[in-house]
């Protein structure tokens, strides 16, 4: 397998680090608009299978040309969500398989944004699934940690733990703290704003997909391994768009443990218009307010040595067990920041995201996973993935919970 990774930020760098420890690929080119950053990532692996290139993630033609020149079998999108479609289109044009960790962006309903869907996450990609099928190529979308591992947990639960699934609820929480900063997000603020201020998506069997107000339906969820109870709220996320397509269930939700301070900051950014991606003119320069916010805050990929605590990604599933009795389980992966820094040189949220597409590429390379068209992680057998993840030194866990009344 020959790989082109587009994006040499924190997650792209961690993908390179994780891949360098494996033998499933022949060559990997790391590309970024900042050629120096791509070179640093490639050389940092100490592996001759890596090289670097300069490419603009918004330029589908340039990415396709690069993919052809390096003879890429797989294009791995490690850029932020606004670049999904150019990279997706470039992979198709280059006749390569494609993986990403976030899907094409949503657009809210023009008149009823907090009750009805407009363009949903991933709609632009799913609209082209038949083209990918006809070409015999796979676009595996949403294969990070959330979406990604969370979806694989849902598939595992449906196949092995339940005879009937009522709700699949992805729940994410952490107790991470960053020394020396009054406010420092642990993941891309651009992506976090996109997820948290868009109308959250919910799916129900009888109603289909619908939306609610941001930060709706707060609940306190008890996270494992010392994290403890965290208040979680509805957030727009790909799992709600993906899971109902492959998992037979009654309801799908995604709730994120943001905390009161983070929610207040996001609401203030929205009130001031600083969440907007529409450029404004400042001293003769056209800039996006959201890009300014992202530039003003510390880069999450560089906060690892100041960050302490754990982050948990997981999937809470309720329904009937194989014996027909009510059951509730939480399947999860916890990442300790100090351990991640010591073992991998990456902060916890970055590493937890990056390891999953590497495992997926390995399964595709050896033929364990195969398919064509635009597919989500839950379209594949979960067991080989979870076994490979555990063999990689990333154990996942499962807790029985009290079934809802």
Residue at which a domain ends, from 99, 115, 141: 99
Mean pLDDT of 174-179: 92
Give the pairing type, strands 138-140 and 373-375.
parallel
Q: With cut-offs at 50, 70 and 90, classify the pLDDT of residue 187.
A: confident
In a domain, 245, yes or no: yes
Mean pLDDT of 264-291: 92
Q: What angle do CA 347, 348, 350 make, to 5 degrees?
A: 70
Q: Contact, 394 vs 355, CB < 8 A?
A: yes
In a domain, 134, yes or no: no
CATH number of the domain that 50 lies in?
3.40.50.720
Query: Is the model's pLDDT at 42 over the cut of 80?
Result: yes
In a domain, 331, yes or no: yes
pLDDT value at residue 84: 98
In a domain, 262, yes or no: yes
Do 184 and 56 fall within a single domain?
A: no
Do 78 and 172 fall within a single domain?
A: no
pLDDT value at residue 191: 86
pLDDT value at residue 181: 86
Q: What angle do CA 199, 201, 205 make, to 5 degrees?
A: 150
Q: What is the DSSP string of 220-255?
A: EEEETTTTEEEEEEE---HHHHHHHHHS--SEEEEE
pLDDT value at residue 184: 85
User: What total of structural domains would you count in the chain?
Assistant: 2
In a domain, 291, yes or no: yes
Residue 339 lies in domain: 149-350+395-401
Do 154 and 58 fall within a single domain?
A: no
In a domain, 320, yes or no: yes
Do 54 and 171 fall within a single domain?
A: no
pLDDT value at residue 238: 98
Do 81 and 160 fall within a single domain?
A: no
Nearest C-alpha neighbor of 16 from the set 385, 345, 396: 345
Query: pTM for the whole thing?
Result: 0.94
Query: How many other CB atoms sit within 10 Å of the CB of residue 75?
Result: 27
pLDDT value at residue 220: 95
Residue at which a domain ends, from 62, 81, 99: 99
Mean pLDDT of 384-396: 97
Do 29 and 168 fall within a single domain?
A: no
Do 183 and 87 fall within a single domain?
A: no
Q: With cut-offs at 50, 70 and 90, classify the pLDDT of residue 229.
A: very high
Query: Is the model's pLDDT at 299 over the cut of 90?
Result: no
In a domain, 364, yes or no: no
What is the rounded distance in angstroms from the CA atom of residue 105 to the CA atom of residue 120?
A: 7
Query: Is the model's pLDDT at 143 over the cut of 90?
Result: yes
**H-run or E-run covering 7:** none
What is the average pLDDT value for the chain, to the nearest integer?
Answer: 96
Do 168 and 253 fall within a single domain?
A: yes
The dihedrals phi and psi of 264, each to the nearest 5 degrees, come to -60, -40
Do 73 and 204 fall within a single domain?
A: no
Do 202 and 338 fall within a single domain?
A: yes
In a domain, 131, yes or no: no
CATH number of the domain that 310 lies in?
3.30.360.10
Do 66 and 183 fall within a single domain?
A: no
Mean pLDDT of 283-294: 93
Query: Is the model's pLDDT at 182 over the cut of 90?
Result: no
């Amino acid at each position: 397998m020959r790989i082109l990774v587009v994006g040499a930020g924190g997650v792209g760098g961690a993908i390179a680090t994780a891949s360098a420890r494996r033998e499933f690929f022949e060559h990997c080119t790391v590309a970024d608009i900042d050629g120096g950053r791509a070179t640093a990532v490639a050389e940092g692996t100490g592996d001759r299978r890596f090289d670097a290139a300069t490419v603009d993630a918004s330029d589908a033609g340039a990415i396709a040309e690069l993919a052809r020149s390096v003879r890429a079998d797989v294009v791995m999108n490690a850029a932020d969500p606004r670049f999904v479609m150019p990279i997706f289109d470039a992979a198709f044009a280059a006749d390569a398989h494609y993986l990403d960790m976030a899907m094409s962006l949503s657009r809210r309903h023009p008149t009823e944004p907090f009750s009805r869907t407009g363009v949903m996450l991933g709609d632009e990609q799913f609209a082209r699934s038949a083209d990918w099928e006809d070409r015999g190529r796979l676009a595996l979308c949403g294969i990070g940690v959330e979406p990604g591992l969370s979806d694989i947990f849902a598939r595992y639960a449906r196949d092995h733990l339940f005879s009937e699934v009522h709700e699949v609820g992805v729940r994410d929480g952490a107790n991470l703290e960053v020394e020396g900063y009054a406010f420092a997000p642990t993941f891309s603020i651009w992506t976090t704003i996109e997820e948290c201020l868009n109308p959250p998506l919910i799916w129900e069997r009888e109603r289909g997909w619908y939306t609610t107000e941001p930060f709706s339906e707060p609940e306190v969820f008890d996270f494992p391994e010392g994290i403890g109870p965290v208040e979680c709220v509805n957030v727009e996320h790909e799992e709600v768009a993906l899971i109902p397509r492959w998992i037979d269930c009654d309801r799908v939700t995604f709730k994120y443990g943001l905390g009161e301070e983070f929610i207040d900051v996001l609401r203030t950014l929205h009130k001031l218009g600083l969440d907007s991606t529409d450029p404004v003119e400042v001293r003769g320069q056209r800039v996006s307010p959201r890009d300014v916010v992202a530039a003003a805050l510390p880069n999450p990929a560089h906060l690892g040595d100041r960050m302490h605590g754990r982050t948990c990604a997981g999937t809470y599933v309720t329904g009937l067990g194989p014996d027909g009795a009510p059951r509730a389980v939480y399947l999860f992966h916890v990442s300790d920041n100090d351990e991640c820094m010591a073992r991998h040189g990456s902060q916890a949220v970055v590493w937890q995201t990056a390891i999953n597409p590497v495992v997926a590429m390995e399964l595709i390379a050896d033929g364990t996973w195969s398919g064509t068209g635009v597919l989500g992680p839950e379209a594949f057998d979960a067991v080989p993935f979870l076994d490979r993840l555990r063999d990689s030194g990333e154990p996942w866990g499962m807790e029985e919970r009290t079934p809802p009344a």
